[in-house]
Amino acid sequence: MAIAQAAGHGHVQGAVAAFDLTDVFIHVIPIGPAGVVYLALGLLLSGARVLPRLFGYLALALGAAFEVAGFVGLFDPTNPQPTITIILILQEVWVLAAASLVLVRTLRSTPAGLSARAAQAAP
């Protein structure tokens, strides 16, 4: 939006600066919030009973992968995007698996889920 706004107002240098800043976020997001969130989540889940410990260890691995990819991208700008895209895909698979497991566990433990299983077991 900053690029379009600067260009629309005739600020060529502002548009160029905003465009150059777009390349920074590919390094900032993995190093900062994405990595830290998954490292913290992994630490919490590895000691909790909400999900199997494997999810905690996988979250730690994702957090470490985000951190490594972010820092490597700072020093080797030739291939940061494909690596980060793969990590983002793995992140989405992790979220889908965790959410699915929580949903299945919830449905099994609710009275509606229990009565549906009882109705299926009845002759």
Check residue 96 and give its pLDDT: 97
Q: Quick check: pTM over 0.95?
A: no
Check residue 123 and give its pLDDT: 59
Domain extents for the chain? 2-121
Alpha helices in the chain (DSSP H): 2-8, 12-22, 25-29, 35-46, 53-75, 80-109, 111-121
Check residue 20 and give its pLDDT: 78
Per-residue pLDDT of the chain (123 residues; tens, 9 = 90+): 888 888 898 888 988 888 877 767 777 777 888 889 999 999 999 888 889 999 999 999 999 998 888 888 777 767 667 788 888 899 999 999 999 999 998 888 877 655 555 556 655
Check residue 41 and give its pLDDT: 94
CB within 8 Å of 44: residues ≥ 6 apart:
56
Check residue 107 and give its pLDDT: 87
